[in-house]
Amino acid sequence: MLKKEVMKLDFKFIKSQIAKIVGEKYVSDDPKDLTVYSRDYSSMPPQVANLVAAPGCTEEVAAIMRIANRNGINVTVRGGATTAHLCTAKEGIILDLNRMNKIIQIDADNCLYLTAQGGTPIYTITQELDKMGFELAGRPMFGPVASIGAWVNTVGIGSNCTKYGYFSESVTGVEAVLPTGEIVRTGVNSLINCDPIARYTHASDLTGIFVGSRGSMGVITEVSCRIFPKPKYEDFVTLAYTDENINDMVKACNLIFREEIADNIDINDDGVAAMVGLEIPFPHLISMTIRGNSEEEVKRKVEACIAVGEKTGGANLGPMMGQLVTWGGALNAYIYKQYGAGHLVFIDSYWHSLEAYPGLYHNFKDSLNSRGLTKNGIFGWFMKGVGCSFPIIAYREPDETDAMNEAWKEISDNWFAIKNSAPGMSVPSATAYNLDPLKPAYYNLLRNIKNAVDPKNIMNSKIIPFAGRDE
């Protein structure tokens, strides 16, 4: 088995080989460094790898992958560590991409796209684009800490998805290092004379192999994506609903979608409001970002949102809530630390029908509150036809760890038994929730692709098992 082979390796020798590539400063087997890399946002217990390496360019990544592939060493890619148990490992190499944080090109005059290294924080990109009057197709769910490569790896959901859809839909191509060490470019950039200006060519869409792959198909070292002119004017509206008319809230969202009023609809509750210091006598909130190219346009859209609220029994709470939750979960994490909670967990239904939301909401509240985990809230986004919801829970370690993990599993079991509720990345077991529900033909095709690009199954192998099912 691969695990036994890895345990026999001389990692001191592997470390010396990698040091020749990245420099002594950027590879470590120090127990203190490995401990830092043993956790992420989730409540899962620490996993300590053998080495951590921080390459600074694509060529260094490729050289490390050739060593790993030659020796059958597991490699786990790490960006902002905002995923659940996807960027930690109990063996092998943690590949930290945070040094690869440069914006390579912004074409704001011709083809309207940018290219950035995979470890570049979304916040850095957003700041730079803002100076030029442009924006990405959204902001990530975990706030400023998320990197653009990791965002592609996890499909890309966040603010402004009501207008633009998933971030991955605006990706024009990636540069990726395959587990064998080969460097590949996708989209029209795969052609000799083309920059990454468009995703689709006469050939199959290979960008899609890496989108949502959770680091299992290769290392995304560059991302190219479309950029959009940023509207000049902005305002916010929050509508609040009682638990009795939660279905009316869903109806309000559909009405707003139909009229294309809001660029973004954040779905929140009074728990999230409490995190940002607001006491609101309503359990359900939709906070909308309203934008346009004139004050009159924005005013008209705001009035339309308020009218929808009045029609569906929603109370208008004004702009403050929307302003406070603009950057998503990172703000919640900060507030929880202020409250003195030990750790934070995100659970996600990455895609669900809007009609599924009331059942999802009540299930997560019941599971948590029955275990005394009352510091919780729900955060997510609604777009045309589908929603993406993230319960957020703060708990203290070690006193509440067992209760947290029990609730996490119960919520996941119940959520994904609901029709049209699909699991995302923050689940107790990637196998049980992401793979077991797949139809056999799809799973076999996916595994065959994995076998082709990663014949030794060294890349984040807990996501797509090489042979049979994981433990």
> What is the C-alpha to C-alpha distance for residues 468 and 15, in angstroms, rounded to an integer?
31
Rg of the chain on CA atoms, in Å: 22
Neighbours of 244 (CB within 10 A): 9
CB 101 within 8 A of CB 56: no
Residue 434: DSSP 8-state: I
How many CB atoms lie under 10 A from the CB of residue 260? 11
End-to-end alpha-carbon separation of the chain, Å? 13
* Nearest Cα to Cα of residue 453 among 222, 210, 196: 210
d(CA 183, CA 175): 7
Using CA atoms of 429, 404, 39, 338 in order, give the dihedral in degrees to the nearest 10.
Answer: 140
In angstroms, the CA 464 to CA 37 distance is 22
pLDDT value for 283: 95
**pLDDT recorded at residue 465:** 53
pLDDT at 342: 52
Closest to 209 measured CA to CA, from 200, 217, 201: 217
Q: Output b/e per residue, 414-443; b: 16+ Cβ within 10 A.
A: bbbebeebbbbbbbbbbbbbbbeeeeeeee
Structure tokens at 465: 């098992």
Q: Tell me the average confidence (pLDDT) per consecutive run of 10 residues in the chain, 471 residues long.
A: 56 97 98 91 81 98 98 90 74 95 97 97 92 89 77 84 90 97 96 93 91 91 97 94 96 92 90 78 93 96 97 92 58 51 58 92 93 86 85 80 89 90 77 83 89 90 50 39
Q: Supply the angle between the helices 11-22 and 58-71 in degrees, to the nearest 10.
A: 160
Find, among 269, 270, 245, 258, the residue nearest to 305 by Cα.
258
What is the reported pLDDT for 3? 46
Nearest to 108 by CA among 149, 146, 136: 136
Q: Which of 228, 230, 173, 229 is nearest to 197 (CA)?
A: 173
The crossing angle, in degrees rounded to 10, of helices 401-415 and 357-369 is 160
pLDDT at 470: 44
Burial string for 51-83 (b: 16+ CB within 10 Å, else e) reads bbbbbbebebbbbbbbbbbebebbbbbbbbbbb
DSSP string across 326-374: TTTHHHHHHHHHHHT-SEEEE--EEEEEGGGHHHHHHHHHHHHHTTT--
Q: What is the pLDDT of residue 15?
A: 97
Return the residue matching tokens 């707003």. Answer: 256
b (16+ CB within 10 A) / e for 364-382: bbebbeebebebbbbbbbb
Phi first, then psi, for residue 244 (nearest 5°) are -65, -30
Interatomic CA distance for residues 162 and 241, integer angstroms: 20
